[in-house]
Amino acid sequence: MSELVSVEVDGGVATILLNRPPMNALNAEIQGALSAAAVEVGERRDVSAVILYGGEKVFAAGADIKEMERMSYTDMVQHAGSLQDFTRAISRIPKPTVAAITGYALGGGCEVALACDFRVAAKNAKLGQPEILLGIIPGAGGTQRLARLVGPAKAKDLIFSGRFVSADEALAIGLVDEVVEAEDVYAAARRRMEAYVGGPAFALRAAKEVIDRGLEVDLDTALDIERAQFAALFATRDREIGMRSFVENGPGKAKFEGA
């Protein structure tokens, strides 16, 4: 894997760390490494949940503008697919994920955060989709995932203006889920993810897939997806454990096996 991205696993929680100072600008190498890291944590049996983290100062200030500035239309025709692939790979991690946001999460950086299930931000964080100021639009999923998260009018406000949003405004519009002191961001994200360690891994995976896939299709099709996944969980050991534990000991005491 690239030196620009590392994966560390501790107590069932994986941390995918971006390491490209000063701004974690997302060049092609880091995009590829993020895709590989997403596949790795998705497959590893010792990982129950995942934190995306840019370090103590900055989450990521977007795609590498210096790299893009040199690209022609035909270069971008070839590259635009992989620009979406790395955020798609993050969004498809079949486990709970959270972005731990310090400093800036802009452009592609904001799009990485949008590809996670949850976002925890520092009080001094700034989020936004400033691509319009470069004469382009978000190209790593931002137009779609932002609109789905905060609604089309707020997404248009942010994408048309390119303005930065404070952590408090981000919380108010649902762009982030929790705001904490800067030095507590990683710990708060970790607390969220630790809640899923020892959980019913296949039910969590099914819940994520059904919610995400369901939002992409009409209600009837979404309900069909839910029905099939609901029934499929009756083939898991955790379903047996969960229901037997309830009958014998009452709610919330099951010791799941992740199988």
Residues in touch with ligand CAA (CB under 6 A) = 22-23, 25, 61-66, 83, 104, 106-108, 111, 130-131, 134, 138-140, 142
Q: Select 22 or 252, whichever has its Cβ closest to ligand CAA.
A: 22
Closest separation between CB of residue 62 and ligand CAA, Å?
3
Give the length of the chain: 259
Catalytic residue list contains 111: yes
Instruction: Choose the catalytic residue: 29, 67, 131, 216.
Output: 131
Catalytic residue list contains 8: no
Q: Select 162 or 214, whichever has its Cβ closest to ligand CAA.
A: 162
Closest separation between CB of residue 240 and ligand CAA, Å?
45
> How far is residue 249 CA from its own chain's centroid?
36
Q: Select 55 or 214, whichever has its Cβ closest to ligand CAA.
A: 55
Closest separation between CB of residue 187 and ligand CAA, Å?
25
> Rounded to an integer, what distance in angstroms lies between the CA atom of residue 232 and that of residue 206?
9
Instruction: Choose the catalytic residue: 111, 209, 216, 240.
Output: 111
Q: Which residues are catalytic?
A: 111, 131
